[in-house]
Amino acid sequence: MSNDRSSLSQTLKAGSRAGLGVGVLAGTFDGLVRTVGIDPGLFILRMQQNGLRDALTHGLPQDRSEVLDLLGCTASAAAIYGVALALVAVLFGALLHPLLRRRRDPDGDQLALWLGVWFFLEVYWWTRPLVLPGLPATSVKRVLAAAVMLVICLGLGVLAGRLRRSLPDRVIPNLSVVAVIVTLIGGVYLRIDRSSSAAHLGQVNERNEDMPNVLIFVVDALRQDVLACYGNDLVRTPHMDRVAAEGVLFADAMVQAPFTWPSFGSFLTGKYPRRHGLIRMKPGHILPPNLTLPEYLHGAPRKDGAPFEGEDMVGAAFLTGTLSHGSGLARGFDYYFEALVGHELVDVHSRWSEFRSGLLPWLYKNKLHQKLDNQLVAATAREWFSENANRRFVAMVHYYSTHTPYDPPAEYRSMYCDPEYDGPISAFYASHREAIERGKYAPTEADERQIRDLYHAGVTQADAMIGEVVEELRRQGVLDDTIVVVTSDHGESLGEHGLWEHNFMYQDNLRIPLLLRWPDGLPQGAVVEGLVESIDVLPTLTELMGLEGLTHASELVPDAGLDEQRNAIDGVSLLPRIRGEVDVVRPYSFAENDMFRSIQDERWKLILRSEHTSAEGFEEALGLEEGLRPRFFDLVQDPLELDNLFLSAYDEHQVRIGELRALLHAWSESMPIRDDHTRSSARDLETQRALFKALGYGGGVGSDADEGDGE
């Protein structure tokens, strides 16, 4: 018995030593990666653009206090990893002791095992963008790829374990002492950490007690025409319909870009894309310095002159897809949650909170949580509101169920999808869209109906998630003290013009829902006709809240300072239109992507390639082949944009086309970022030519899924 007990004790000690050592090593490694902020894709991009030195030094801490903070966080990560893995290794050793006791080198065996496990977790996480991207983690191909990685990494662990035997006898005990010291330092740092938090922000006081909260729902890729309140009698959207019935519905709300980042940039800054500067979706591109809605609400001056300070408002953003804090689009929010990235709810004022969110255990935990709860964003938002509804807040909740992949839960799928459908589309991914565009796959009518049914299920799912959060505010008794906004960053093509997804200049991409509810400041059941743009939401909210408005870009003087230019907006308040004080707030709406510009009034719409808006460029466009010539539509007679009057009736509409072209050119020239800075390369244009020929005269510049949006 004594030998058995001694053997068990040896196994447990070996496990604890191996677990602590590997855990501290792994935690230190992850902490240093987090400290430097290394992202493989961004690292390669910076190296290509600015050289290896810039790539290696980018993100390094700049002052002593920051260095000490990050070292403390790294030690804390090492301590948590080490203690956690030591406990896991001890439990593992106790369970498998009958097998491990027969091994000659229990220390080396367990060290090899846990090194292999660590290698695998690192390799699997960092190769996700490279190994079968876009496929679910549970797909057969991804599981097989993971199994191969695991075998290779366990083999590397065995090799590393053998190298241990070649080290001098005193090295391992010394490393063990170092591991214990690092663990103690990390534990002490966690204990004495006095970094700030956002807990004190938004507390109700005499300065903000008469002000409303702001809650913005943005449903990614949500078409306007799929909501019942906009006339759809097929799709069930009771919660959004109720917001419309209790507030204001805008019949002709338009976005300024038909893909995610530029559109969100416009919505959050009140500026057109070529004023706020986030005009592409690629690694390394972030929103340049701009005053965003949550930043402005942190202490904006009140019209009545009453004091209002930065700490009187707290901001929270609940995000998914590629909308992230790293893109700059969540700038100004004090808390952020990023489902797709895997970041838990982060307090930006706490160094440890931000640091911890990027460590592998938390990333894996949150990604697993996301797999188990397909409505995690709503659940996290609801929980936050249940604990913080008594604070003055500006919050944004971003839902993704209407973006590819269209893969709704069974409860929503069963509402729309034909149970007799036996085709290949169980879920619709961006890869399916790419196959259709390249002519590798031709969907049948049943396939197309299935895709639309899956999308409609996602619409109802988004509606249900909106309802969850709204009802939480109702339960907390603050719903009527909150301005509720429901909108989207762009629409979605569902087979029209042979196109799928988005980043096209058609109305199904540009027209979005826009609903506002606040009983104290807005009428109930109002329908507002006439063109409005997403850039108008920011000035509308600030006026509703009784805050001083930002300077309109048209009011800037020629010698305006940098701050004045930075804070100038293109949007206008919609309150005069809501109250019936004016008939229209804007006669024209403009939109752009990196190939096209569009202008429309309430009847006519012109779409031109960016280089064709000038008089000289337009003359060139007249000589292009049919599929590449401009598009001109009568939206009253042809709301589906099926008849390109530029081809069929140019002479009849030549004067109106010329007027719209001139207005579009003047607008484009008024933007501070030059038009040619947004144009695609010659290779991109050649790719688009081939696509246009395959699809007729339709199409934009692909989909923002190509630029990294989506899974």
Burial of 140 from C-beta contacts in 10 A (0-12 / 13-18 / 19+): exposed
Give the pLDDT confidence score for residue 458 in this predicted structure. 97
Structure tokens of 330?
């969540």
| pLDDT attached to residue 176 | 66
Task: Give residue-wise pLDDT tens across range 207-265.
Answer: 999 999 999 999 999 999 999 999 999 999 999 999 999 999 999 999 999 999 999 99
Instruction: Say which residue, 533 or 66, is predicted with more confidence.
Output: 533
Share of the chain above pLDDT 70, in %: 84
In the predicted model, what is the mean pLDDT of residues 318-341? 87
Residues 37 and 320: their CA atoms lie apart, in Å, by 20
Pick from 105, 74, 72, 261: nearest CA to 172? 105
Residue 137 has pLDDT above 90, yes or no: no
* Residue 457 belongs to a domain: yes
Indicate the residue among 138, 163, 192 that finishes a domain: 192
Cα–Cα distances in Å, from 524 out to 229, 245, 251, 331?
13, 6, 15, 32
Rounded mean pLDDT of 475-481?
96
Q: Are residues 355 and 455 in the same domain?
A: yes
Whether residue 200 has pLDDT greater than 80 = yes
Cβ-based neighbours of 548, under 8 Å, separated by 6 or more: 300, 301, 302, 303, 542
In the three-class reduction of DSSP (H, G, I as helix; E, B as strand; rest coil), residue 594 is classed as coil
Confidence (pLDDT) at 439: 87
Q: Tell me the CATH number at 580.
A: 3.40.720.10
Strand bridging mode 589-592 / 526-533: unpaired
> In terms of pLDDT, which residue wins out, 551 or 539?
539
- Which band of pLDDT confidence, cut at 50, 70 and 90, is reported for residue 101? low
pLDDT in tens, 422-452: 999 999 988 888 888 888 889 999 999 999 9
Output the CA angle 69-75-81, nearest 5 degrees: 135
* Domain contains 685: no
| 166 three-class SS | coil
* 697: in domain: no
- Residue 438: the pLDDT is 86
Instruction: Determine, yes or no, domain membership for 673.
Output: yes
E-strand spans in 348-449? 393-399
Higher pLDDT residue, 281 or 55? 281
* pTM for the structure as a whole: 0.86
- By CB atoms closer than 10 A (0-12, 13-18, 19+), residue 293 is buried
- The DSSP 8-state label assigned to residue 572 in this structure reads -
Q: Per the structure block, which two tokens stand in for 458?
A: 């996602």
β-pairing, 493-494 vs 213-219, is unpaired
Could you tell me the two tokens for 26?
Answer: 């792994």
- E strands present in 488-562: 493-494, 500-501, 511-512, 514-517, 526-533
**90 lies in the same domain as 183:** yes
- Grouping H, G, I as helix, E, B as strand and the rest as coil, residue 487 is strand
Q: Averaged over 280-309, what is the pLDDT?
A: 86
Structural domain that includes position 109:
2-192
The answer to whether residue 206 sits within a structural domain is: no
pLDDT (0 to 100) of residue 705: 35
Q: Which two structure tokens, joined as six digits, stand for 339?
A: 């489902």
Residues 581 and 618 in one domain: no
Q: Do 336 and 253 belong to one domain?
A: yes
- One-letter amino acid for residue 452 of the chain: R
Task: Identify the CA nearest to 259 among candidates 336, 317, 216, 321.
Answer: 321
Q: How many domains does the chain have?
A: 3
> What does the pLDDT look like over 488-514, one tens digit per residue?
999 999 999 999 999 999 999 999 999
- Whether residues 494 and 362 share a domain: the answer is yes
Top pLDDT among 276 and 175 is at 276
Whether 117 and 252 share a structural domain: no
> pLDDT tens across 588-608, in order?
999 998 889 999 999 999 999
What CATH code is carried by the domain that includes residue 636? 3.30.1120
Same domain, 485 and 623: no
Lowest mean pLDDT among 131-135, 163-167, 186-190, 669-673: 163-167
376: in domain: yes
| Cis amide prior to 405 (ω within 30 degrees) | yes
| Mean pLDDT to the nearest integer, 405-416 | 95
Claim to verify: residue 531 and residue 642 sit in the same structural domain: no
Residue 706 forms part of a structural domain: no
Question: What are residue 486's DSSP bridge partners?
Answer: 217, 515
Same domain, 508 and 634: no
pLDDT of residue 687: 41
Residue 163 lies in a domain: yes
**pLDDT (average), residues 355-383:** 87
User: Is there a single domain that holds both residue 617 and residue 557?
Assistant: no
User: Do 184 and 297 have their domain in common?
Assistant: no
Q: Tell whether 546 and 623 lie within a shared domain.
A: no
- How distant, in Å, are the alpha carbons of 53, 69, 70, 353 from that of 66? 21, 5, 6, 15
Q: What pLDDT is stored for residue 127 in this prediction?
A: 84
Residues 6+ apart with CB under 8 A from 538: 267, 268, 269, 270, 293, 296, 550, 569, 571
Average pLDDT over residues 195-203: 83
Q: What is the pLDDT of residue 381?
A: 96
